[in-house]
Amino acid sequence: MLLLFVMGDKEDSNIQAMRHSLAHILATAITKLWPEVKLGVGPAVENGFYYDIDLGEKKLSDADLKVITDEMRKVINANQPFEQYDLSIEEAIKWAQENKQTYKTELLNDLKRAGTTVAKDLDTEELGTITDSNSAVDSVSFYKNGDFIDLCRGPHVESTGKAGAFKLMRISGAYWRGNEKNAQMQRIYGVGFETKEQLNKHLEMLEQAKKRDHRKLGQELDLFLFSDLVGSGLPMFTPRGTVLRDELTGFSNQLRQSHGFQKVWIPHVTKTELYKVSGHWDKFGSELFLAESQETSDKLALKPMNCPHHNQIFAFQQRSYRDMPVKYLETTTVYRDEKSGELGGLSRVRSFTQDDSHVYCRPDQIEQELNHLLLDADELYKTVNMELRVRLSYRDESNDYLGTKQLWETAQKQLKNAVVKSELEYFEQDGEAAFYGPKIDFMATDAIGREHQLATIQLDFVQPERFGLEYTGEDGKKHRPVMIHCALLGSVERFLGVYIEHTAGKFPVWLAPEQIRILTVNQEKVTVDVATNLQEKAREYGLRVEVDNTNESVGKKIRSSELMKVPYVVVIGEKEISSGKVLPRIRKDIEVQESLEPVSVEGFLKTVANEAKSRVQKTSLMSSKHKI
RNA sequence: GCCACCUUAGCUCAGUUGGUUAGAGCGACUGUUUUGUAAACAGUAGGUCGUCGGUUCGAAUCCGACAGGUGGCUCCA
């Protein structure tokens, strides 16, 4: 386990002290307002702090945030000094019991027992108040301000007046010690910064993030929808949204097909037997969508994953070591009955599509196969302009893993070799492996610095065993293949959610649902004919083009194309008709330079078609500011 | 599943402490206009106020259940 927080430079530790102090002040205010409160833990977290409290029957609402904020301000304005002192663990427990702080008592008793047991079932990062160690603790730290005292490891700032700028954000539920079976407490979240300016900057950043929320853009850009009649967590995609899906999965498939993957197809319903064999039934049975046959006695389920089906295809034929590796690829939808509260936008849904693939290979082929997949992931994320780093997730020394230790060791070594060879940024972590094998998790960073886990490559020693998969080796004996699961986009829906926010809806030409929009200056026949003609020509180049010849002003039509974030807009009027040339208006983010030179229609279309084909971010075309 | 909050026209939102025919902007439609790079003008239609039940002389407004959503917790093969 790690230290509570790593001391970076001075600034970092100062802001940490401020956030700890703010949590402390929050507790001060709450205790003043509701003296019967039972305090849980109140750590500093990224951008702020929170405190978990138990108020019994009293349920806080947003209106209470104002009251609490006012009380906190009073404490801050009083500029009470923070006094730190240590108590022996016995004294501390006595204090907690006298003050009826049952949660603190529990924590202190655990600390007294032994640091290691605490470390095991507590996330010390969340604890905040409690120091982490490997042995029993004999004294703990307290902070006092005014007549409020709280168990707290600190550090704190000198006095309440120096805690910086804060804003209470929200109230939510949180289970005591993060365990669903424990009591649910109320968590009050706040953000805290050294200065008012920094706080405002952070709040502005949140506003920006809200503007590019994929749910909002999905509506505005006409990409996807939900329907009450269909059900929650079951997204549907419009023609525009479907273009995005098809282009992305097409690219993902193309990358792997170049490495010998073959497409397969499986049905979406299966007998539940399949998952009893795979072992998923015991672990995830409650999240299966069940269906019943009205004709037979079959108990059926919608597939929650694809590997067991693909295993059937592998097992359909006898395999020789010469056939290996066998590589299947399928973009297909899976269904998982997530708990209702866990759904949200496209990030967590009940039907989602995986760009799934499975490699069945000999143990000596693992590294080479991983190599190909890493190359593909690298190219895909470069193309969508997201930075990638990978986590090598290994087993630890516990016995929670299946397969021989030796198999794991060679597999982990091959995993690492492949990653090193790929030159991707990586880090290693023990204890993060799946029970059936080590894995590579990809973290992609978006345009506003948030990291998302999207792609994953997993080795699997278990399913080949459970399904009795085998191939005949050179020695004439039967051998077990190793399976490699891989999805480059992960879930297409989640990827789109992230990607829409990454680009703020300004998709590069190859992905743009509408690549070119043609506007007519008037509705005279000759103008409309030229526009329609241009559209037909563009379609011959495989481009997605719409004509806007509505009875509106050019300004208005430009505005509407801008709102839809169309990369290229061409206006057709007298000038274009007589010259046969166009002056494309180019969306700002893909524009490199401007010029006032009109280009020929053919030249324009050829360039755009090439850009779409080569999936570039920027255009080589020169736009004009159109001062005609 | 748990905690808190939200749901009014296709979209974004007003709607005073429960009180007559629930409003606006955008969008749609019709007409006028024939438009040159981010919003022409006028008119028309569009709502059982998420659904069901309750309290009340009277409910968009208060209460309950359900559905859907948002932020967290828990979970995520």
Residues A175-215 have pLDDT tens digits of: 999 888 888 899 999 999 999 999 988 888 888 888 999 99
Q: Which two three-digit tokens encode residue A60?
A: 């806080």
Task: Kindly provide the ipTM of the predicted complex, given to two decimals.
Answer: 0.94
Closest of A333, A336, A337, A360 to residue A265, by C-alpha: A333
**Protein residue nearest nucleotide B40, by CA to C1':** A553
Q: State which nucleotides on strand B lie below 7 Å from a protein beta carbon.
A: 1-5, 11-12, 27, 32-40, 67-77
List beta partners, residue A516. Answer: A545, A568
- The predicted model gives A104-110 an average pLDDT of 88
Counting residues of chain A whose pLDDT is more than 70, the rounded percentage is: 93
Name the residue with tokens 């989602």. Answer: A352
Distance, in Å, from the CA atom of A82 to the CA atom of A329, rounded to the nearest integer, reads: 62
Closest nucleotide to A628, Cα to C1': B36
Closest nucleotide to A226, Cα to C1': B68
**Protein residue nearest nucleotide B76, by CA to C1':** A338
**Protein residue nearest nucleotide B32, by CA to C1':** A551
Distance A227 CA to B8 C1' (A): 19
What order do you get walking across the sheet with A326-335 strand by strand? A262-263, A326-335, A351-361, A482-491, A451-460, A439-445, A387-394, A425-430
Amino acid, single-letter form, for residue A275: Y
| pLDDT tens sequence across A365-423 | 999 999 999 999 999 999 999 999 999 999 888 877 877 888 888 889 989 999 999 88
Sign of the dihedral through C-alpha A506, A510, A513, A517: positive
Q: What is the DSSP string of A435-489?
A: TTB-EEEEEEE-TTS-EEEEEEEEEESHHHHHTT--EE-TTSSEEPPEEEEEEEE
Residue A8 has pLDDT above 80, yes or no: no
| pLDDT tens sequence across A433-484 | 888 889 999 999 998 888 899 999 999 988 999 999 999 999 999 999 999 9
With beta carbons less than 8 A apart as the criterion, state whether A165 and A191 touch: no
Closest nucleotide to A560, Cα to C1': B38
Give the pLDDT of residue A475.
96
Distance, in Å, from the CA atom of A412 to the CA atom of A355, rounded to the nearest integer, reads: 24
Give the pLDDT of residue A276.
92
| pLDDT tens sequence across A318-355 | 999 999 999 999 999 999 999 988 998 999 999 999 99
| pLDDT tens sequence across A514-553 | 999 999 999 999 999 999 999 999 999 999 999 999 999 9
Distance, in Å, from the CA atom of A383 to the CA atom of A505, rounded to the nearest integer, reads: 16
Closest nucleotide to A227, Cα to C1': B68
List beta partners, residue A358. Answer: A328, A485
A626, containing H or E segment: none
Q: Which two three-digit tokens encode residue A612?
A: 């779409």
**Protein residue nearest nucleotide B50, by CA to C1':** A228
Torsion angle of the four alpha carbons A97, A103, A105, A110, in this order, in degrees rounded to the nearest 10: 170
A595, containing H or E segment: none
Count of H helices and E strands in chain A? Answer: 20, 29
| pLDDT tens sequence across A204-255 | 888 888 899 999 999 999 999 999 889 999 999 999 999 999 999 999 999 9
Amino acid, single-letter form, for residue A264: V
Sign of the dihedral through C-alpha A342, A343, A348, A349: positive
A278/A123: higher pLDDT: A278
Q: Which two three-digit tokens encode residue A415?
A: 């995993």
Amino acid, single-letter form, for residue A302: L
If you count them, how many residues does chain A have?
628
| Mean pLDDT over the full length of chain A | 89
Closest nucleotide to A340, Cα to C1': B1
Distance A346 CA to B52 C1' (A): 30
List beta partners, residue A478. Answer: A472
Question: What's chain A's Rg over C-alpha atoms?
Answer: 30
Distance, in Å, from the CA atom of A199 to the CA atom of A164, rounded to the nearest integer, reads: 9
A577 CB burial (10 A radius; 0-12, 13-18, 19+): middle
Residue A117 has pLDDT above 50, yes or no: no
Tell me the pLDDT band of A595, cut-offs 50, 70 and 90: low
A527/A108: higher pLDDT: A527
Tell me the pLDDT band of A136, cut-offs 50, 70 and 90: low
Distance, in Å, from the CA atom of A131 to the CA atom of A154, rounded to the nearest integer, reads: 9
Give the pLDDT of residue A431.
83
With beta carbons less than 8 A apart as the criterion, state whether A450 and A502 touch: no
- The predicted model gives A572-580 an average pLDDT of 94
Tell me the pLDDT band of A615, cut-offs 50, 70 and 90: very high
Return the active site residues of A: 307, 336, 354, 356, 358, 439, 485
Distance A163 CA to B73 C1' (A): 27
- The predicted model gives A274-283 an average pLDDT of 89
List beta partners, residue A540. Answer: none
Give the pLDDT of residue A5.
36
Distance, in Å, from the CA atom of A168 to the CA atom of A188, rounded to the nearest integer, reads: 7
Distance A530 CA to B41 C1' (A): 29
Highest average pLDDT, of A122-136, A169-183, A556-570, comes from A556-570
Distance A512 CA to B42 C1' (A): 37
Helix (H, G, I), strand (E, B) or coil at A145: strand
Name the residue with tokens 């802001």. Answer: A15
A145 contacts: CB under 8 Å, gap ≥ 6: A24, A25, A28, A75, A80, A81, A82, A83, A159, A160
Helices A405-422 and A366-383: angle between axes, nearest 10 degrees: 40
- The predicted model gives A157-185 an average pLDDT of 90
Distance A566 CA to B22 C1' (A): 38
Distance A342 CA to B64 C1' (A): 25
| pLDDT tens sequence across A498-515 | 999 999 999 999 999 999
